[in-house]
Structure 1
Amino acid sequence: ISSAASSIATASATDKANDLAAVQGTAAYQSLTSDQQAEITSAISNAGSTASSYASTIASDVSSMSTALSSLTGTTTTSSGDSSSLASLQTSISGIASSANALLPVASSTVSSMQANIANVNSVLVNQLSPGAIQVASGVSTAQSTLATGASALSTGLSTYTGAVSTIASGAQTLDANSSSLMTGFSTLQSGTSALNTGAQQLATGGNTLTNGLTSLSTNLSTLSNSLNKANQQLSLVSVNSDNAKMVSAPLKEKKTDKDKVDTNGVGMAPYMISVSLMVVALSTNVIFAKSLTGRNFTSRFDWAKNKLLINGIITTMAAIVLYIAIRFVGVEPNHPLSTFGMILLAAWTLMALVTALVGWDDRYGAFASMILLLLQLGASAGTYPIELSPKFFKIIQPFLPMSYSVSGLRQTISMTGQISDQVRMLFIFLLIFVVVGIIIYRPKYENE
């Protein structure tokens, strides 16, 4: 009986735990709120409390009966051990009888109480546990139905949510793609607004200026009208004969004064070409008269110097005279005629001394060096254009070439003020240097050369 009561209590507790776990495992239960879940859990947990109570009572009664039987068994054993004494046996039997008489009513009462408790347990199981289980099953079914409906609604809502999220994402991408255009348009709108404001201000300013101008125009037109009336009155007093017309048409006479007297391009190029001509005269003279007039070689250095001074000097002087007459004949009118002739003569002697010194050193190489110097002086003498327009090389060598000073000196005497002191000084220095160097570097030629 005690074992059955324990089994009933254990089974009741197990059933409650299983029912509670089954209900808690359903989706309907999990979809409920925490208060609803607590209410269902409490209902299931308290459904079998009466059966457990009766099972506990039965177990307690069985324990009491077991204790009484144990006492009876101990008494019987004691009586069997003392069989030698009849008095003791009788006393024990009397004790057993009284114990049995005392125990039987208790046992009977206990059995009756146990039967009543079993009946109560059965009644509780039938009347309370079964309706609770049915109620739980109904609640589970209702929860499942509600859960299915909620799941369907949730699925529909998720589909709608997914579509809305996709639409939002597409719209966000479109917004992001067009944000730069929107900002550009906004910036353009701001710039246009600023330009519009500026234009409106300019228009307002222009309107004010126009108003002021119209006012001034009206005033000036009135003044012009008055002035024209006065002019008309004054013109009526003026005589318009031929003399007055000539005076009005030609009030001034034009007079031209050319201080530099450069009428043509030839006048401007004359200093340059005169210097080139003198250099050519020096080259040709030294090539033609390389030896003495008799055709023999010079006997000494001083013999060479004396002969060259005589022959080349005469040719140089004659060339200067002929050249001066020629330029006057072609129409060049120097501002300073004597200075011009003197400059031509000095330049001729200087260039003749240069070429004579080189040819006296060596006939072939000296003549070649003279040609090279002529070419260098053509570029560095500033005869056609200012030296500032020439390459840097010619600017560097210009001060060291005699033709530079002859060109600038002749330009002063022919067309300008005649300030030639610097040019004359430099040409004299070049002349002395060339004469001295020519005597030093001269190499005598022999008949077999």
Structure 2
Amino acid sequence: MLPGASGAIDGLTGIKTGVDSKLLPGAMQLNAGLTQLQSGLVDGASKLSDGANKLNQSTAQLNTGAQTLVSKNGELKAGSNKLASGAAQLTQNSPKLLDGSTQLASGASQLSDGSGKLASGSNTLTSGIGTLTAGVTTLNTGLTDAKTKLAENATAETNAKKIASPLNITHQDKDNSPENGVGMAPYMISVALFVGAVATNMIISGTLSGESPKNRRDYLLARIGVNGLIGLGEGVLVYLAVHLLGLSANHELAMFGFTVLVAICFMFIVTFFNTWLGKPGAFLMLILLLLQLGASAGTYPLALTSNFFQKLNPWMPMTYAVKGFRQVISLTGQIGQETGILLAITVVCFILLSFVGYRKAKG
């Protein structure tokens, strides 16, 4: 054996022993670990593939849900608007709700108070029924005693009359309207005065002589002076005529003055429209007369007339003439309002007549 061969053999033997005892088991463990790693990688790849598939499915569902959400965006917006509007209305109606709550509390308090009053009234009613029963008993006893005492008295004619008529009743009428003619007089006097004004303007259209006026003064005197004088005469004649027919007024002096005022007022109304419009004015006055016949409430109470005439009534001059005549003939004579209105109409028509007459004469 060569020198050193024994050491080499020992070294190889040691190497072999190391390989067999350490390297080979390590290689086997490494191989087993690689096998496990490969198995784990395969299993993880499978799970990763399944997770990717689920992720794809979830992504599709998420996309579908997003599209549905987008399609419902209008409804969601409308619902949000309704919610905002409802919140605004709730805020706006909060004071009313609070007020209603307060009223409800007040009503509950009143209901409680009313219940107490009802209970008290029930007790009072019960007490009153007892008192009424006692009173009926007393009345029955008194009537029985009266019957007994009456039977004991003499039943002569004088006693019978005293028993049948224990009181003397007197009656006095404050209103002077004994018959239908007196009741119709205010209406007929008013109609007569207005018809007289219309007739005067139809007959006398200029001067009394019929000649054309020479200047403005003659024209104004013919329209204002002559017609005013005729109106005054009509008032006096009508006043005398109705008294000759048997009429007597509660307030004679007031009736005389009111009759003259109505006559002059009607005369100036008709004269103004005739002077201003000519023949159309005369026709308009006839229409006014017809309207006043129905709207002045002279024949029937205003409530029995149509709604048209009821609305027209306050605007008719004859309405105040009829009311005034009723006051001075049959009632208390309170004609302040009627006199004021008719006097105002007279003044206005006089001024307008003077202006129109002046322009007519100038032309």
Range of TM-score over shorter length = 0.5 to 0.7
Assess if the C-alpha contact under 8 Å between 1:278 and 1:347 holds in 2: yes
Counterpart of 2:242 (choices 327, 347, 352) is 327
* Compared CA separation, residues 425 and 243, structure 1 to 2 (3 A): same
Aligned partner of 1:349 in structure 2 is 264
Counterpart of 1:385 (choices 288, 300, 306) is 300
Aligned partner of 2:332 in structure 1 is 417
**By how many angstroms is 1:433 displaced?**
1.2
Identity %: 38
Alignment root-mean-square deviation, CA: 2.8
CA distance in 2, matches of 1:292, 1:271: 32
Assess if the C-alpha contact under 8 Å between 1:290 and 1:363 holds in 2: no
Any idea what SS the aligned residue of 1:292 has?
coil
Are residues 1:290 and 2:205 paired? yes
CA distance in 2, matches of 1:227, 1:406: 59
* Compared CA separation, residues 349 and 241, structure 1 to 2 (3 A): same
Any idea what SS the aligned residue of 1:262 has?
coil
Aligned partner of 1:336 in structure 2 is 251
CA distance in 1, matches of 2:143, 2:346: 77
Aligned residues, how many?
225
Aligned partner of 1:399 in structure 2 is 314
Where does 1:409-448 land on structure 2 (aligned, <5 Å)? Answer: 409-442=324-357, 444=360
Are residues 1:366 and 2:288 paired? no
Where does 1:264-283 land on structure 2 (aligned, <5 Å)? Answer: 264-283=179-198
CA distance in 2, matches of 1:236, 1:336: 55
**By how many angstroms is 1:365 displaced?**
1.5
Assess if the C-alpha contact under 8 Å between 2:206 and 2:222 holds in 1: no
Runs of 4+ that moved beyond 6 A: 223-227
**By how many angstroms is 1:259 displaced?**
1.3
Q: Which has the higher contact order (CA 8 A, sep 6+)?
A: 2
Assess if the C-alpha contact under 8 Å between 2:228 and 2:268 holds in 1: no
**By how many angstroms is 1:237 displaced?**
3.5
Aligned partner of 2:233 in structure 1 is 318
Where does 1:124-203 land on structure 2 (aligned, <5 Å)? Answer: none
Any idea what SS the aligned residue of 2:171 has?
coil
CA distance in 2, matches of 1:299, 1:399: 41
1:41-65 CA deviation, whole Å, 9 max, x = no partner? xxxxxxxxxxxxxxxxxxxxxxxxx
**By how many angstroms is 1:354 displaced?**
0.7
Structure 1: give runs of 5+ residues left out of the alignment.
1-219
Structure 2: give runs of 5+ residues left out of the alignment.
1-136
Any idea what SS the aligned residue of 1:270 has?
helix
Assess if the C-alpha contact under 8 Å between 1:354 and 1:434 holds in 2: yes
CA distance in 1, matches of 2:336, 2:243: 23
- Whichever residue aligns with residue 272 of structure 1, its letter is Y
Assess if the C-alpha contact under 8 Å between 1:358 and 1:366 holds in 2: yes
CA distance in 1, matches of 2:191, 2:141: 72
CA distance in 1, matches of 2:221, 2:142: 94
**By how many angstroms is 1:439 displaced?**
2.4
CA distance in 2, matches of 1:279, 1:239: 69
- Whichever residue aligns with residue 182 of structure 2, its letter is V
| TM-score, with length taken from structure 2 | 0.56
CA distance in 2, matches of 1:360, 1:227: 82
Aligned partner of 1:85 in structure 2 is none
Assess if the C-alpha contact under 8 Å between 1:301 and 1:439 holds in 2: no
**By how many angstroms is 1:360 displaced?**
1.5
Aligned partner of 2:23 in structure 1 is none
1:287-344 CA deviation, whole Å, 9 max, x = no partner? 1111212221123444222123332223222221121122223232211111111111
Aligned partner of 1:240 in structure 2 is 155
**By how many angstroms is 1:231 displaced?**
5.5
Counterpart of 1:256 (choices 165, 171, 176) is 171
